[in-house]
Amino acid sequence: MENKTIAYTARSVFTGTNMLQHHAVVVNHGFIESVLPMVSVPKGIRIHDFGEAVIAPPFVDLQLYGAAGRLLSEFPDSSTLDAIVEEGRKGGTAYSLPTVATHSYDVIFRCIDAVRSYCNEGKKGILGLHVEGPWINKLKRGAHVENLIFTPSIEQVQELLNYGGDVIRMITLAPELCSREIIALIRSHNIVVSAGHSNATYQQANEGFAAGVEVVTHLYNAMSGLLHREPGLVGASFEHEVARASIIPDGFHVDFAAVRIAKKIMGERLFVITDAVTDTSTGPYRHEREGDKFVANGVLSGSALTMVKAVYNLVNHADIPLSEALRMCSLYPARLLNMVDHKMLLKAGYAAEFVVLDEDLSLSAFL
């Protein structure tokens, strides 16, 4: 019988925690048998050598809105989710959390239906749904549609959770507008609560963290900034010991120096999202591409970032070591959704999923 075991080798193997030199990832029937030095690979095993490259776990993107001209809120169906998965893989992303921005419940419900159906069909790559708004602060709405934003009652929150609590994995809200009871109710459904599009004071932000807010959505963007007399949501995020934050390292949403500063302060609490949108000509969100970013009604609305480009930017523009840049795009977001259990690490017994990056940090393979 033919031996199906393959040893994938490269100059470097990043396990998700450590960078190993001249090692091999030994794979059999979709699972990793071992990670060991090249010289220790048993004879008779087929070797696939990627040369001067890095083998690493694939990426996880917890905020993006569509792909290939299909915005999820406009086209809430399997074709859109297929496009998100396919486009994501081109940038090294294995798992995505599609996001619906501020919309009516009718639109959000249709997005929930699409994701639920997709997952029930056994398709892979979609983790659930991220609902960003409509429970946000109009003063920090960014490109969100103002007349769709509202402060919810317990009953309105319960209505959404009754319909989609099994599909929604994250909700972004303004903690200064949502009570402790609302935050606790959301958390009781094992949904991650993130503070974003918020004008919270430093005190309000910390009250939100104490109530159960775990994350901050796209740090710096659409939130109260760090000022010397009012540290705001940014200051509270910097100071907190466990609260995490996503960031968009495209050079447009956040200056790379600000990325570097946040990283020095927050360490492992900072992770990457692409916040990627796609061209749209219908609906309330008319995203138009301008170079490497998107605008809607003249307002910066989303990125054209991929995860592999994010790794490149972190290393080359924010002076973050490659191993840590990879963790920010893979391990740290995976931890947030409790995914690091037999996947997202290169170690024996885990799923054999990984990306291969060339010396210039471009994606050369996705397995």
Whole-number pLDDT of residue 203? 98
Strands 31-37 and 19-28: antiparallel
Structure tokens at 197: 């599009």
Answer whether the bond into residue 58 is a cis peptide, omega within 30°.
no
* Residue-wise pLDDT tens digits, 16-44: 999 999 999 999 999 999 999 999 999 98
* Residue-wise pLDDT tens digits, 48-74: 999 999 999 999 999 999 999 999 999
Structure tokens at 267: 């360490």
CB atoms within 10 A of CB 342: 12
In the residue annotation, 166 being an active-site residue is answered as: no
Whole-number pLDDT of residue 236? 98
305 labelled binding-site residue: no
* Residue-wise pLDDT tens digits, 198-248: 999 999 999 999 999 999 999 999 999 999 999 999 999 999 999 999 999
Tokens 């430093």 label which residue? 202
The full set of domains in the chain, from first to last, is 6-56+345-366 (2.30.40.10), 59-336 (3.20.20.140)
3-state DSSP call for residue 89?
helix
Single out the catalytic residue among 113, 275, 341, 360: 275
**3 pLDDT tier (thresholds 50, 70, 90):** low
Contact 18, 59 (CB under 8 A): no
Whole-number pLDDT of residue 321? 98
How far, in whole angstroms, is CA 84 from its chain's centroid?
A: 13
How much is the mean pLDDT over the chain? Answer: 96
DSSP3 helix / strand / coil % (the chain, rounded to 5): 30, 25, 40
132 labelled binding-site residue: yes
% of the chain at pLDDT higher than 70: 99
Whole-number pLDDT of residue 291? 86
- Which residues sit opposite 54 in a β-bridge? 12, 357
Whole-number pLDDT of residue 2? 52
As a whole number, mean pLDDT of residues 305-319 equals 98
- Which residues sit opposite 192 in a β-bridge? 170
Whole-number pLDDT of residue 1? 43
229 labelled binding-site residue: yes
% of the chain at pLDDT higher than 90: 93
As a whole number, mean pLDDT of residues 111-131 equals 97
Q: Which of 101, 193, 190 has the alpha carbon at shortest distance from 146? A: 101
As a whole number, mean pLDDT of residues 258-265 equals 98
Whole-number pLDDT of residue 281? 86
- From the number of C-beta atoms within 10 Å of its C-beta (0-12, 13-18, 19+), residue 211 rates as middle
228 labelled binding-site residue: no
* Residue-wise pLDDT tens digits, 160-198: 999 999 999 999 999 999 999 999 999 999 999 999 999
Q: Which of 300, 255, 311, 297 has the alpha carbon at shortest distance from 275? A: 300
The widest CA-to-CA distance across the chain, in whole angstroms, is 72
Whole-number pLDDT of residue 351? 95
Radius of gyration from C-alpha coordinates of the chain: 21
Length of the chain: 367
